[in-house]
Every structure is written in structure tokens, then in C-alpha cells.
Amino acid sequence: MAQRPRHREAPLTKEFARIAWLERLFARTHERGTVVLGIGDDAAVLRPASRLLVWTTDACVENVHFKLSWLSAEDLGWHSYNAAVSDLAAMGARPSGALSSLALPCSIDRKIWQGIARGQARAAKALDCPVIGGNLTRASEVSIHTTAIGEARRPLRRDGAKVGDEVWLVGGVGAAAAGLSVLMRVPEAKWNSAMRTCVNVWRRPKALVQEGLGLIGKANSAIDISDGLAGDAGHIAEASGVSLVLDAEAIESAIPTRAKNVSSLLGCSALDFALTGGEDYALLATGKSARRPSFARRIGIVERGQGVWLESGQKKVRIRAGFDHFSR
Amino acid sequence: MAQRPRHREAPLTKEFARIAWLERLFARTHERGTVVLGIGDDAAVLRPASRLLVWTTDACVENVHFKLSWLSAEDLGWHSYNAAVSDLAAMGARPSGALSSLALPCSIDRKIWQGIARGQARAAKALDCPVIGGNLTRASEVSIHTTAIGEARRPLRRDGAKVGDEVWLVGGVGAAAAGLSVLMRVPEAKWNSAMRTCVNVWRRPKALVQEGLGLIGKANSAIDISDGLAGDAGHIAEASGVSLVLDAEAIESAIPTRAKNVSSLLGCSALDFALTGGEDYALLATGKSARRPSFARRIGIVERGQGVWLESGQKKVRIRAGFDHFSR
């Protein structure tokens, strides 16, 4: 846990005290063999068991990915940590550890930054992925950049989809986007129980690490759904040089009933939330039918061609990859 | 290179186009054996040669660590990359690669973000530390969070200093702080040649990777000087449970003449710049006299006790660790 503050108003001693507090909190998360040296030096030292490392970085920025009024500080720590580790899950990797680069306004309430760290520590425990270092800096807005390393014998890539593969969905879709929409459009006093459930799905996603590990040797390609099913299916299609044809009915069946209820109350299409929402951190994969694990749902097929198509009854339309309904 | 944009104004296609550009630029930096998979998937994949990994993260935030008027975009990319890799140098590690998590305002000029990336790519080449992935997000201010991995047989730690060790300085000190002070206080039209030199030292630091490798088997402890010599000496003293006694005259001799000239023009103490400035990214180490490498300068000794002391002639005063003159 280092910092490199410069020409700022806050005394350096304050940052050192914060680092000492974080060091004590996170120390509890990394009592394991692969961590040789945790927080407190220029860098952390790891001794991974395997030779193949999977390495990712992800950011959560205030007013871009969240507003502090939308979730508790602890939710934010949890959310950002799971979002980062979800990339490891999508690669079929077992998490080894993470570094947290925190940027905080000088005036931030102690409860907030400590809450963020507590949420990270809880997520670290739940995911068996210790926080072994990081960085602390001042900034005008809260942002959390999390970098995580995992080990994988055979990492699952985006570019392995084969013509004839089934398209698999692991986990639910649509609820997080419905929840986010509630946060943006409905005052909390007016939330019903379904809305509260969807909001909680958005606030507390869970990286599907075990499921990712369960895809190894079965899936030919995989990705986590962070941009929305359509966009992330587009990434597989493009990287693999194939076309993904998705079955609207099969996707509908992967949308939780409460998300459908909320969508209808908001006057939105639940399918649209599922296709373009993201942030459920479900996994999308492709593989041979005979190898589909019990926890994966078939939602389409891989064909020759390019792009992502949606089939509904007799209709088959090309859907724009990466289209995001929040930008309208 | 992933991104996870949400409820933002800019179309997602713009971010995808930026990622594609970055992918092409950085691809040239990672043509080497340890990189199994670079930019373009959920995560990068590495196959390091050794089992001991050194891992760090560092941030450069607009209006905290820099102002865009203080340096070119390419300088910024170079500066932030070297600052991050300097932590690996301090651990005696050979860099394997880095991920860049970039946060950019929506309205940012193409020349700026491309300049930042070009500076990172140049630094990656110079340090033999390829950019193999990253993240791109929107934010209200520019920030660059760089995470880097290196390999080390025997990482140099802060906690190994022994009573009787010499204190070694590798590289010059004071010029970067003098340069930063010029940027903050003197309009460019009034810069003389010494000022320009110091400003360039601040803008274009160089992580001392080869020197860090040269300390292995010789130094008992090491740290990079990013917070200032006094503060970073304090980190070694605290971690090792010893006292560091620094020799003012020896430190003065490690301050470049031009930095002394600039300090005197600014009415500042060059020694103060050296002790509290940082950002030269020199290395501070301790070790037995007989093992001091030719590139290291003796600037003090390790004694029983605690804290950092400055000896000047007959006077010996305790100097406050972590004290930063810019905050006054």
C-alpha cells in the first residue's frame, strides 16, 4: 500500500494513518501460501503454484459507474471488487490476489472510505482473493481501480468459438440493469419488493469464479457479461470470426421474474435490459452440446458469418453489438 | 483492454474505437515470450520464467500529481509509467509487463489521450516492460493507474536494514522537486537553462531498473524515493526497526549543480528539495560497506534506535519522516 501525494492540502500523516488502517484490515484477507509479502513495501510478492497467470484491471468511477447515493460504501467496495474478479472468472482462473488503487476526495468522510475498504475485504474473503497491496491517492471524485491476478491451466479466451457450438449463459441476466434503472428513475420511497431485489442484484454482484472453473475443458470460448449480452456476444463473434445467433425465448427464460415485473412497471423491455444492460456479471460461453455443464443454459448457436443475431419465432434480426440504452 | 461504461453521454462505439487504437499501439510493445495473451480479452495471460512475482500499482491524478499545463501528454504517459515501474526497480525485479487503467474526460482531445498512450508505449520499450492490457473509462479528470509485474529471485524489501549497514543512494536527488517548484512558481518565459533542465528531470523520470537488479545480493534493504529521501528513509527505519542517520554533506553532493542553482534562485534550500521532494525516482538502499556497488553513493549509516536523523558537522537532528514542503 503505497502513495505518492504531491502539492495537496491534506497532511501526509493523514494518508499514512489511512494506509496503516487499510493494512490492518486487509492483512486478515491474505493468510495463504501464495502471498510471500503483502501490504507495506514498494510492491507485493507472490509465489503462484502454476506458471500461467491471468491478469486484469477494472475501474469504478463516481458519477460514471455509480453515485454514492445509489449504494452504501460497503456495497461499492463489494461491487467494484466482484466486477474486477469477474474477468478472472470469465478466463476460468482461480484468483490469487488483488491490488486496490483508491482515489478519494480529501474531504471524504472516514465512514465512506473505511466502508469501501470493508466491502473490498468482505468480497476478498468471499472470493478467496486477498487484497495484498494497493495505492492511495487524492482525487476530486471517488474511484477504485482494482487489479487482480489468477492462475489458470488453460485460460478460456474469447477467440475460441467454433461453428456448431452452442451459446451458453451461466447466471441470470437483466436484473442488475433493471435495478440500476430503478435507482436512476424511481425515488426509494416508491420501491416495491421486486424493485428492491433488482437494486440489490446491481449493488451486490457476485463474480462466478466456481462456474468459470467449471467451464474449463468444456467451453471453447468465454467472456463475462459486463457490457450487456449483445455487446459481449459481439466480442466473442468478432474475436472468433463467427456469428452468434441468440434465441430470444431462451434469454427471456434466464431473466428473473422480478426483473420482468420491474421492467414492465418501468415501461421497459426486460429483454432489452438483458441484451444491453450488463453488470449482472453472468458468464457467456460457447461449446459443444455434449459438453454443456448442468449449470449452463443454452441460449443460441454459433454459425458461419459475423455479428450477433436475435431469433424470435420466424424473425431473425441483427442486433447492434455494444449498443447501450442508458446513453439515450 | 476492457471497459465497462455506463449511463454516460459518449457513444460506446467511440470507446471501442479508442480501445482498437490502443490495442494496435501497445501490440508493438509486447512481442516476447512471457506474454501469452495481450490486449483484447477479459484479461492478459503471462507465463513468467520464475516463480517469484513482484506486483505493484501506482496512480497519477490530474490536479494532484500533475496539471496538463505542466507537461506534454507524452511526458505524462512516460512519467506515470516510470513512476509505477520504479517500485519494481526498488524490489530488484525485472519487469514482465504492465496494465494501464486510463480514466479520461469525455471531451478530451484525441491528441491528449493518444499522446499519453504514446508516452506509455515509449516508456514500455525503454524499460522492456510491455503494456499487455488495461481498462478505459470516463471520468471528470485525467487519471492513469498503472499496475506492473516483475520477476525477482530475491526481492529487496524495506525491512532488511541492519545496524552497521551503510545507507546508499542510487541516482540524483532534488532536481525533480526543483523542477516541479519551477512549474508551480515561475512562468515559462522566465525559465533559464538550469530551470529547464530541472523541469525536464521532473517530466521525464527514469525508473532505475538495471541499478535495482545490480543491488541484488548486495543490499539488505531498498526503497524507491517517491515521497522524498526523508520520508522513504523513514519507511526503511520503521520496517526494519532501526534508525537511519543521514549525512547532510553526502546528500548535498548527490544534488546536481543545476538543481542547486535553481533552488538558490527560488530562495529554497536544495537540501530541503532533496529530503522532502521525491519524484526523482532515485533508489535508497542499505548494505554492508564491503558490498557497496560502484554506482551507489554512501550517504549515511544504520544505527540502533528509530527514526531518521540528519547529521551536519557536529549537529544531529531528527527529521520528520513524511514531511512534505508542498503542503505548506
A157 or A38, higher pLDDT: A157
- Domains of chain B, earliest start first: 12-151 (3.30.1330.10), 158-327 (3.90.650.10)
What CA–CA distance (Å, rounded) separates A278 from A45?
34
Q: What ipTM describes this predicted complex? A: 0.89
Q: What sign does the dihedral A181-A187-A188-A193 (CA atoms) show?
A: negative
Paired sense of beta strands A94-104 and A131-138, if any: parallel
B9 or A11, higher pLDDT: A11
Identify the closest residue of chain A to B9 by CA–CA distance. Answer: A327
- Whether the CB-CB separation of A318 and A243 falls below 8 Å is answered with no
Residue A80 has what DSSP assignment?
A: H
pLDDT tens, A163-205? 999 999 999 999 999 999 999 999 999 999 999 999 999 999 9
3-class DSSP assignment, residue A251: helix
Look at residue B153 in the predicted model and tell me its pLDDT.
86
Phi and psi at residue B175, in whole multiples of 5°? -70, -40
Look at residue A9 in the predicted model and tell me its pLDDT.
34
Residues A262-273: what's their mean pLDDT? 96
Share of chain A above pLDDT 70, in %: 91
Look at residue B13 in the predicted model and tell me its pLDDT.
64
A22 pLDDT band, cuts 50/70/90, is confident
B323 pLDDT band, cuts 50/70/90, is very low
What CA–CA distance (Å, rounded) separates A231 from B15?
13
Does B40 score more than 80 pLDDT?
no
Task: List chain B residues with CB under 8 Å of A159.
Answer: 41
Contact B59 A103 (CB under 8 A): yes
Does B263 score more than 60 pLDDT?
yes
Look at residue B324 in the predicted model and tell me its pLDDT.
33
Residue A215 has what DSSP assignment?
A: T
Does A327 score more than 80 pLDDT?
no
Task: List chain B residues with CB under 8 Å of A9.
Answer: 327
Does A95 score more than 90 pLDDT?
yes
Per-window interface: B 256-315 vs A, CB < 8 A:
278-279
Does B36 score more than 60 pLDDT?
yes
A30 pLDDT band, cuts 50/70/90, is low
Does A14 score more than 80 pLDDT?
no
CA dist list (Å): B290 to B166, B286, B293? 10, 12, 9
3-class DSSP assignment, residue A160: helix
Contact A99 B56 (CB under 8 A): yes
As given in the structure block, the three cell numbers for residue A219 are 467451453
As given in the structure block, the three cell numbers for residue A14 are 493523514
Judged by a CB distance cut-off of 8 A, whether residue B106 touches chain A is: no
Look at residue B325 in the predicted model and tell me its pLDDT.
28
Mention every residue, 6+ apart, whose C-beta is less than 8 A from residue B257: none
Contact B55 A45 (CB under 8 A): yes
Residues B137-155: what's their mean pLDDT? 94
Cβ-based neighbour number of residue A313 at 10 Å: 7
Task: List chain A residues with CB under 8 Å of B47.
Answer: 51-53
Residues A95-110: what's their mean pLDDT? 93
Does A62 score more than 50 pLDDT?
yes
Per-window interface: B 11-30 vs A, CB < 8 A:
11-13, 16
Task: List chain A residues with CB under 8 Å of B91.
Answer: 41-43, 45
Task: List chain B residues with CB under 8 Å of A101.
Answer: 57-59, 101, 145, 147
Phi and psi at residue A130, in whole multiples of 5°? -65, 150
HEC per residue, chain B: CECCCCCCCCCHHHHHHHHHHHHHHHHCCCCCCCEEECCCCCCEEECCCCCCEEEEEEEEEECCCECCCCCCHHHHHHHHHHHHHHHHHHCCCEEEEEEEEEEECCCCCHHHHHHHHHHHHHHHHHHCCCEEEEEEEECCCCEEEEEEEEECCCCCCHHHCCCCCEEEEECCCCHHHHHHHHHHHCCHHHCCHHHHHHHHHHHCCCCCHHHHHHCCCCEEEEEECCCCHHHHHHHHHHHHCCEEEEEHHHHHCCCCHHHHHHHHHHCCCHHHHHHHCCCCCCEEEEECHHHCCCCCEEEEEEECCCEEEEEECCEEEEECCCCCHHHC
What CA–CA distance (Å, rounded) separates B233 from B158?
9
Chain mean position to CA A204: 10
Residues A298-315: what's their mean pLDDT? 95
> How many residues would you count in chain A?
328
> Which residue, A142, A139, A148, A147, is CA-closest to A209?
A148
Per-window interface: A 143-172 vs B, CB < 8 A:
143, 145, 147, 149-150, 152, 155, 157-159
Task: List chain B residues with CB under 8 Å of A143.
Answer: 103, 139, 143
Per-window interface: A 27-66 vs B, CB < 8 A:
36-37, 40-48, 51-59, 61, 63-65
Task: List chain A residues with CB under 8 Å of B101.
Answer: 57-59, 101, 145, 147
Judged by a CB distance cut-off of 8 A, whether residue A239 touches chain B is: yes
Supply the mean pLDDT for chain A: 90
Q: Which of the residues B41, B85, B323 would you substitute to probe the A interface, choosing the one with the greatest number of A C-beta atoms within 10 Å?
A: B41
Phi and psi at residue B146, in whole multiples of 5°? -110, 125
Task: List chain B residues with CB under 8 Å of A87.
Answer: 2, 42-43
Strand partners, A99: A133, A147
> Given the C-alpha cell 474449463, which residue does it identify?
A216
Residues A67-88: what's their mean pLDDT? 97
Look at residue A42 in the predicted model and tell me its pLDDT.
83
B33 pLDDT band, cuts 50/70/90, is low
- Strand segments, DSSP code E, in chain A are 35-37, 44-46, 53-61, 94-104, 131-138, 143-151, 166-170, 219-224, 243-247, 283-287, 297-303, 307-312, 315-319
> Given the C-alpha cell 527505519, which residue does it identify?
B237
B204 pLDDT band, cuts 50/70/90, is very high
Pseudo-torsion of CA B162, B165, B171, B174, nearest 10°? Answer: 80
- Whether the CB-CB separation of B52 and B42 falls below 8 Å is answered with no
Look at residue A4 in the predicted model and tell me its pLDDT.
47
Q: Which of the residues A14, A37, A55, A63 would you substitute to probe the B interface, choosing the one with the greatest number of B C-beta atoms within 10 Å?
A: A55
Residues B125-135: what's their mean pLDDT? 93
Amino acid at A189: A
Look at residue B29 in the predicted model and tell me its pLDDT.
62
Amino acid at B320: R
Pseudo-torsion of CA A287, A288, A289, A291, nearest 10°? Answer: -80
Q: How far is B36 from chain A (nearest CA, A)?
A: 9
A328 pLDDT band, cuts 50/70/90, is very low
What CA–CA distance (Å, rounded) separates A21 from A206?
26
A48 pLDDT band, cuts 50/70/90, is confident
Phi and psi at residue B190, in whole multiples of 5°? -100, 5
Contact A59 B133 (CB under 8 A): no
B45 pLDDT band, cuts 50/70/90, is confident
Look at residue A117 in the predicted model and tell me its pLDDT.
95
Contact B227 A4 (CB under 8 A): yes
Q: What sign does the dihedral A108-A109-A112-A115 (CA atoms) show?
A: positive
Look at residue B10 in the predicted model and tell me its pLDDT.
42
Does A315 score more than 60 pLDDT?
yes
Task: List chain B residues with CB under 8 Å of A51.
Answer: 47-48
Task: List chain B residues with CB under 8 Å of A3.
Answer: 227
- Whether the CB-CB separation of A70 and A183 falls below 8 Å is answered with yes
Contact A147 B99 (CB under 8 A): yes
